[in-house]
Structure 1
Amino acid sequence: MANPNKVKGTQWESDVRDHLNAALGLVDEYGKFLDPFNAYNVRRPAQEGAADVGDVHAVPFVLECKNVKRASVPTFLRQAEIEARHAGFPYGVAVVKVPRMSVRRGKVYVGIRTWTRVRLALKLGAQEFAERYGFTPSLRGLDTSRWYMATELEPFTRLLADVRAMRDAQ
């Protein structure tokens, strides 16, 4: 019998992947990729052992998906950023399931350094960026490595689309 926590985690990863693909218009009404070779298709990569590459790839983000009772956000963000480097992606974020809520309401956590890099890539001021994508801060003490921003998966999907559009325009 499979580990029930592993099963819940895998289901959350699949739910996040499926939501992003549908919201970004990358699949048909049956969930099949419109273009299986599109580099922007959101995928769950095969696990790579010691050099884990994250749970979900949504170019240019690696998503570390967590379905846990108690979130340890700074730990999840460190893991996401390491796995993004392993995968060769510039950004790593954590996506945490909110109990009894739809996938759209999942919490997306972004480390303050990653948040700033994405904001600058989009050429937006801090307040405009936070308002446009619904970010709220969590500033814990003076150690900036523990600071992060939070939003939900639905506005993160818009952010993902905007980052991709900006990259395509370059």
Structure 2
Amino acid sequence: MSNASKAKGTRYESEIRDFLNARGFSVRRVAQMGRLDHGDLHGYPLHIIEAKSVKSIDLPAFVRQADKEAINAGEPFGVCFVKKTRGATADGYAVRSVATDIRLIRRMRDMEEALKDAAFDRWYDIDEEHRRAAA
């Protein structure tokens, strides 16, 4: 990999980190660790993020890498953020396998049910807040 490609990837990792942190997360870049790599970004709840800013998009390889690095990092979910050419950070793509997405949605469903059972008023307030944000 050329230094220009590495610099491009580092810029995108920093873009993603700054974008997420501006939205209330505590994401940080981490050092690469060779075959035991732990992903590019940590601090996105339950995930590692593999960030890709490349001309040639290889989704199967990106997803495999994110899943492997999530295991290495001890996180349940891997996701690959792929930069959209000439697009804003928010216009990029979050990519994961269907199997990973199902595990994530099941966990969210189960945790929502648990919160609803334990503290219905809190669940209701959170649900309303997110419904308003989506409108």
Normalised by the length of structure 2, the TM-score is 0.76
How far, CA to CA, are the matches of 2:34 and 2:79 in structure 1? 20
Unaligned runs of 5+ in 2: 111-129, 131-135
Query: After superposition, where does 1:64-79 map in structure 2 within 5 Å?
Result: 64-79=50-65
Q: Distance in 1 between matches of 2:98 and 2:10?
A: 27
Report the alpha carbon displacement of residue 11 of structure 1 after superposing the two structures with TM: 0.4
In terms of Rg, which structure is larger? 2
Work out whether 1:80 is the aligned partner of 2:66.
yes
| 1:76 Cα deviation from its structure 2 partner | 0.3
Query: What are the superposed Cα offsets for residues 29-48 of structure 1, whole Å, 9 maximum, x if unpaired?
Result: xxxxxxxxxxxx11111222
Aligned equivalent of 2:40: 55
What SS class does the counterpart of residue 49 from structure 2 fall into?
Answer: strand
Determine the structure 2 residue equivalent to 1:42.
27
* Residues 4-24 of structure 1: per-residue CA shift (max 9 Å, x gap): 000000000110011001012
Aligned-pair Cα RMSD in Å: 1.6
Q: 1:50 deviation in Å?
A: 2.2
2:80 counterpart residue number: 94
Q: TM-score, normalized by length of structure 1?
A: 0.61
How many pairs align? 109
**What fraction of aligned residue pairs are identical, expressed as a percent?**
40
Contact 1:42 1:59 in 2 (8 A): no
